[in-house]
Amino acid sequence: MDSDIDFQLDSQTLGVGTKIDFESDLGFDEKETLFRANGYWRFGGRGRHRVDGSFFSLSKDSSNMIGRSIQFGDKTFSISADTKAELDVKVIKADYTYMIFHGDNYEIGVSIGLFISDIKASLEEASLGKAESSDLTVPLPTLGLRGNVEILPRLVF
């Protein structure tokens, strides 16, 4: 995966934080191997019920001398500071679909589910004992429309 991650951590006392590009400012690799798993289970008469689940995980870290002053939360990291940065992103998605219309080579259904995103980011300058981190978990409900059309045997759009 190619990544281009921008992050900003504001402070109630210092105001708006610096927008950080994790790859160019903090030395994170742009190309990354990550873990992702998807699956579904169909059940009920003619497979009208479907439960889907997916999990995505991206973890990165770097040690780098920064090329500009960065305000991250309540801390300010000076230019040329030796920093250690970490980023951990996890996404979990689960939904249920009921196929309202179900034919031999097509189906159309409605779905409801939950999308949970958990993001953790930290920046540390160990030599000065300076560290700041942020952790945010966001659960979001999802509503959807799903359809499948069999174009050829074993080829579905």
Rounded Cα–Cα distance for residues 27 and 18 (Å): 16
pLDDT classification of 109: cutoffs 50, 70, 90: very high
Buried residues in 55-71 as b, exposed as e (16+ CB within 10 A): eeebebebeeebeeebb
What is residue 22's predicted lDDT score, i.e. its pLDDT?
A: 81
For residue range 52-62, list pLDDT tens digits in order.
Answer: 999 999 888 88
For residue range 92-101, list pLDDT tens digits in order.
Answer: 999 999 999 9
Given a cut of 80, is residue 29 above it in pLDDT?
Answer: no
Tell me the pTM: 0.77
What is residue 1's predicted lDDT score, i.e. its pLDDT?
A: 65
For the chain, the domains span: 6-156
